[in-house]
Amino acid sequence: MFEQVKKGIRLILAQDRLNGATAALSSQCNSPLDLILASTQLMNRALENSSEITPADRVHSKGESMKSKFNSKVVAVKMIAMLFVLSSSFFVSAPVTVKAAPVSVNRTFGIGSGTSHEVPSGGSVSLAIETVEFQVPVRSAITATIQHKRTLASGIQDFTIHFDLLDPSGAVAATKSAVTTGATTSTTLTAPINSLPGCNPKPWKVRVRGISPELRTVSVTGNISLSFEASTLNLNVEGDLIDLNKGNEVTKTIFNVDSRCGVVVIKATWDTDGIPGVDSAKLTFNLRRHNGSLARSLTANAFNALQNPKMTFSYTLTEADGEQSGDWKLEILNNSDFNTKKVKVTGTYAPGCN
């Protein structure tokens, strides 16, 4: 059966119909199921053509027979490779946005008697303070939820404590006072969206203060939970599919990585004139910061080609990058001997501290 299929493929090639068949696969298939059905039809055509081989076709010299067998194997391998590339493109080329739940970071605190932050002995002011630090990789709305309660002691009345949410510059983004009791009480602070990210060594902070003589006798302890949105985003890359002839270059703007910390991943696919679909010309991609300095460069084959290296790379946006604003650029250069078409750039951004 397999020998018949290979002979059928040879007939298709001899009639110059394989290119048309694979072109139909790539242009008409919109899903993996479509591709499987179309591939089956193509293999059926190969089987039908194999039945057209006459006994006279089988009369060859020994050398010619060995050459035919070798060629048929090569054709079969190439055909399978083409179908694999076409099918895999349905699974790897489309970017996917992964929407993460709000990230929550938890810390404990304690002020007053018996804690690491007691009221200093002999002081005229009964002040106890603890400041808790949090790494926040994104510019988003930030919510600090403080669960707190005091220890119980005879003759001690409920009293007020104070909470401050401090941004990485040290400015107070939100503040609130609350009465603490022997039962757990919840207090919430919220910083507005588009505030500064706080990666090491400039974290966000929650400060807990108590100014009460009762703190010489009792303590206030609890848990602080800091939450923020940290979604993986698709990159917003300027323009659509482009054709890039040999010797030319183009620059695309990436609009949504300015003033951020985290990891950017970029991929690119394209077709090459005069080269089978499993191969490609190499293009050069230069990722440049808003000020024009080079962040990352790679010369590679198309991501949809079989050979390596493939066009995909990552770059970590540092704290220094995050402190700067302005659109980033992606230069694409064709220094090959071939014209390319349908160049498509996709990518993702994942927030994070480094």
CATH number at residue 308: 2.60.120.510
* 130 and 62 belong to one structural domain: no
Give pLDDT, residue 314: 96
Give pLDDT, residue 125: 82
* 84 and 119 belong to one structural domain: no
Give pLDDT, residue 163: 98
Residue 318 structural domain = 232-351
* 341 and 239 belong to one structural domain: yes
- Mean pLDDT for each consecutive 10-residue tract of the chain (354 residues)? 44 42 42 45 48 46 46 44 41 42 86 95 85 89 95 94 95 96 96 80 94 95 93 90 96 88 94 81 96 96 93 91 87 96 94 82
Structure tokens at 36: 């499987």
* 242 and 292 belong to one structural domain: yes
Q: Is residue 25 assigned to a domain?
A: yes
Strand partners, 277: none
Q: Is residue 97 assigned to a domain?
A: no
Asked if 165 and 206 touch (Cβ cutoff 8 Å), the reply is yes
Torsion of CA 271, 277, 279, 280, to 10 degrees: -10
> What distance in Å separates the CA atoms of residue 32 and residue 87, rounded to the nearest whole number?
6
Give pLDDT, residue 307: 87
* 161 and 76 belong to one structural domain: no
* 144 and 34 belong to one structural domain: no
Q: Is residue 310 assigned to a domain?
A: yes
* 63 and 120 belong to one structural domain: no
* 73 and 120 belong to one structural domain: no
* 236 and 297 belong to one structural domain: yes
> What distance in Å separates the CA atoms of residue 59 and residue 81, rounded to the nearest whole number?
30
> What distance in Å separates the CA atoms of residue 27 and residue 20, rounded to the nearest whole number?
10
Find how far residue 112's CA is from the centre of its chain: 45
* 107 and 215 belong to one structural domain: yes
Residue where one domain finishes, among candidates 200, 228, 256: 228
How many structural domains is the chain composed of?
Answer: 3
**Contacts for 282 with CB less than 8 Å, ≥ 6 apart:** 299, 300, 301, 335, 336
Quick one: angle between helices 62-92 and 18-28, nearest 10? Answer: 10
Residue 6: its H or E element: helix 2-14
Q: Is residue 277 assigned to a domain?
A: yes
Q: Is residue 96 assigned to a domain?
A: no
Q: In 181-282, which ranges are E strands?
A: 185-191, 204-211, 219-228, 233-234, 242-244, 249-254, 262-272
* 222 and 257 belong to one structural domain: no
Give pLDDT, residue 41: 52
Q: Is 238 buried (19+), middle (13-18) or exposed (0-12) by CB count in 10 A?
A: middle
Strand partners, 315: 264
> What distance in Å separates the CA atoms of residue 145 and residue 225, rounded to the nearest whole number?
5
What is the number of helices (H) and of strands (E) in the chain?
Answer: 5, 17
Q: Is residue 95 assigned to a domain?
A: no
Give pLDDT, residue 150: 97
Query: Strands 233-234 and 340-351: what pairing?
Result: antiparallel
Residue 64: its H or E element: helix 62-92
Give pLDDT, residue 277: 61
* 72 and 48 belong to one structural domain: yes
Give pLDDT, residue 101: 55
> What distance in Å separates the CA atoms of residue 313 and residue 264, rounded to the nearest whole number?
8
Residue where one domain finishes, among candidates 180, 196, 228: 228
Any idea what the CATH number is for the domain that residue 123 is in? 2.60.120.380
Find how far residue 178's CA is from the centre of its chain: 41
